Chains A and B, each alone.
Chain A
Amino acid sequence: MDIQLRRGLIEICVLAAMLREPTYGYKLVRDVEPYMEISESTLYPILKRLESANCLTVSSAEHNGRLRKYYTITPTGRERIDEFLRDWKDIMKSYYYIEREASNV
């Protein structure tokens, strides 16, 4: 898969994983893993990028005597997901067209 496309997809997956509730690094990896190949080291830059793009906020909370960072999605992040879903609809239109034409020949 194209690297840019893959990166974009992981970003949306990560944002989607925090829609229900604020989440933390380990849980993110576990939740996204079944759908997208992701590791701790690929996740970190993505979280940083999403943070600097105001798509999520980071807060620290105590857990078992140590600090854990929790990631919360922002309205900008939510918008990003909606935008993705809209864009993808168009892409899917093209997809079905391509598929139909390809199977007819």
Chain B
Amino acid sequence: MSKKEYLRKLKRELKSLPKGEASRAVDYYSELIDDRIEAGATEEAAISVMAEPKAAAMDIIADARERGVAIKKNDGRGGWAALAAILIILSVCALAFAAWALITQVFDRDITLAKIEWQEKNAVCTIDRAGEITIDMARSDLYLGCSEDDQVHITYYECDQIKVDIAHTENSISIVQKGKLRWLYDLFGSDTRRQTKVLIPAGFEGHIDSSLTTGETRVDGLICPVGKVDLHATTGDFIVYDSAMHDVSFTMTTGALILGRCTVSGDVTVKGTTGDVDIQDLGGSQLIVKTTTGDIELKSVVFTYVDARLTTGRITLTDVTAKTLLLHSTTGSIGVDNVSAWESTITATTGSISGTLSGSITDYTIESHVSTGHNSLPETFGNGPRKLFVKATTGDISVSFTENN
């Protein structure tokens, strides 16, 4: 058992004591464990000589009672309250079900929401090669692909409540969804969104900008090797395969990104919040990935500059080649497997850093720091052409090299 775990268990056993009384006891045990560790014991050994949290707590509570401290009676009232709440919820559900059964079976009324009558529509537009395509939709999936001729083909869906405005000049197309469904549809409705399909001529050199609120963006076979693609989504995911692009950016809130088998000649910028980012088989100039809690996974990726950072979550790199590599995780861990870079800066605050770097240790000039964790790297080492800076504040560093010598 670790010290943290021991103290957590002890604290739980002392719930019936007043806060100050309990925290003083926990502090006392914490101090004694620290003192034993300081005297040379391992954390494990220091804990093992302490009484089990339950036994220790019984002593503490018995003594507090003797000193006249008020002890809260832990008679499981919390448990009863929870049980009562569950019973109330169950009975409300049962009543609702009974009402529904009465209306539908006895009175033979249909109370489901009216079916949405989607109508498929098509538009074909000609656009300048360097034009601008803007898509703004609140309730739609989106498919971006390659057109078979030199025109833009749009397939979209409208219903009574939702219309799509397509405004078109010779160098711009804007596709904007208007109207909305009642909120009830989000809870009980079905078929509440369709996929808008936009097929763009191969070699389009302009700017594609898409914003979706709810809906998945799928990019497949898009060929815009010179232009710029900006994709935004609030709750939807991005799935991008087999496309050629120059600069591309993804901004998402809860959605995830899967990006693979693409050729990118410029920069890839990803800003995520809670969704995961998974990038495979990709090469380009700059790759910048930032998320808050989503995991970042890069596999078979070759970029001049790679910058991946997140707050909570895991960063995993497999077979990644870069000139400059920056990895940072605040509370998550970082794993590298066969990563090759000329200048690497890998930092973690509370997480650990582990894995293998390509080449032999003599290829590197190393600087590494840990504060409380274990470090497998020398703190300073060598004079090799590759620069490596690794820092873990409270986590461990266990990094090795693919060639041992």
User: Footprint of B on A, CB under 8 Å?
Assistant: 24-27, 29, 39-42, 44-45, 47-49, 52, 64, 66-69
Contact = CB atoms under 8 A, between A and B. Distances in A.
A68 B62 contact: no
Smallest CB-CB A-B distances: 4 pairs: A45-B63, A26-B35, A41-B51, A41-B56
A41 B67 contact: no
22 contacts: A24-B35, A25-B28, A25-B35, A26-B36, A26-B39, A39-B51, A40-B29, A40-B32, A40-B49, A41-B56, A41-B59, A41-B60, A42-B59, A44-B25, A45-B59, A48-B63, A48-B67, A49-B67, A52-B67, A67-B31, A68-B35, A69-B31
Nearest to A66: B34
Contacts of B55: 41
Contacts of B38: 64
B40 to A, nearest CB: 12
B28 A69 contact: yes
A24 B31 contact: yes
B86 interface: no
Nearest to A28: B32
Interface in B45-76: 49-51, 55-56, 59-60, 62-64, 66-67
A66 B31 contact: yes
Given A26-B36, A40-B49, 18 more contacts: A24-B31, A24-B35, A26-B31, A39-B49, A40-B29, A40-B50, A40-B51, A40-B56, A41-B50, A42-B59, A44-B60, A45-B59, A45-B62, A45-B63, A48-B63, A49-B63, A49-B67, A69-B31
A35 B15 CA distance: 34
A47 B63 CA distance: 10
A76 B67 CA distance: 18
A66 B207 CA distance: 58
A25 B27 CA distance: 11
Contacts of A26: 31-32, 35-36, 39
Contacts of B32: 25-26, 29, 40
Interface residues of B, number: 23
B31 A68 contact: yes
A54 B55 CA distance: 27
Q: Is the interface of B mostly helix, strand, loop or mixed?
A: helix
Interface string B12-26: 000000000000010
A56 B66 CA distance: 18
A26 B51 CA distance: 14
B81 to A, nearest CB: 33
A45 B56 CA distance: 10
Contacts of B60: 41, 44-45
A57 to B, nearest CB: 14
B59 A25 contact: no
A29 B29 CA distance: 13
Contacts of B25: 44
B66 to A, nearest CB: 8
A25 B38 CA distance: 13
A44 B28 CA distance: 8
Nearest to B35: A26
Interface string B70-93: 000000000000000000000000
A47 B60 CA distance: 11
Given A39-B51, A52-B67, A44 B59 contact: yes
Contacts of A44: 25, 28-29, 56, 59-60, 63
Nearest to A26: B35
Contacts of A45: 59-60, 62-63
A97 B136 CA distance: 103
Contacts of A40: 29, 32, 49-51, 56
Best-buried of B35, B38, B55 by chain A (most CB within 10 Å): B35
Nearest to B29: A40
Contacts of A24: 31, 35
Nearest to A45: B63
Contacts of B28: 25, 44, 47, 69
Contacts of A49: 63, 66-67
Nearest to A29: B32
A27 B35 CA distance: 9
